[in-house]
């Protein structure tokens, strides 16, 4: 998994938004509990933010150089599908 989370040099921030109690964010919470330590270990200088808010639809934002952003919705995805979406975002060059 560590190679999946070696972030692209153009990535400046990875931000997760999700609900801290709802079922639709359960897979996102499980993914972050498992993958966050590895992401931070491999990319200590890049912020990986987790924003919890009641009723928030789970999604992930990747901010790149020059303020460009990409967003992916995570609602209804499994842990593995979330991992695939995040891996795609962190490897993307804009």
End-to-end CA distance of the chain: 23
User: Residue 18 pLDDT more than 70?
Assistant: yes
- Condensed to tens digits (0 to 9), the pLDDT of residues 40-85 reads 999 999 999 999 999 999 999 999 999 999 999 999 999 999 999 9
Using DSSP, state whether 64 is helix, strand or coil: strand
Q: What are phi and psi of 91, to 5 degrees?
A: -95, -15
Which residues form the domain of 51?
2-91
Phi, psi values for residue 48, rounded to 5°: -120, 105
Q: Give the chain's domain count.
A: 1
CATH number of residue 16's parent domain = 3.40.30.10
**What is the pLDDT, as a whole number, of residue 31?**
97
């Amino acid at each position: 998994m560590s190679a999946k989370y070696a972030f692209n040099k153009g990535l400046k921030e990875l931000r997760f938004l999700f609900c801290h109690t709802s079922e639709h964010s359960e897979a996102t919470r499980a993914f972050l509990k498992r993958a966050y330590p590895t992401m931070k270990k491999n990319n200590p200088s890049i912020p990986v933010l987790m924003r919890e808010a009641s009723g928030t639809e789970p999604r992930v934002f990747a901010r790149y150089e020059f303020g460009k952003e990409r967003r992916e919705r995570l609602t209804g995805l499994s842990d593995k599908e979330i991992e695939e979406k995040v891996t795609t975002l962190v490897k993307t060059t804009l």
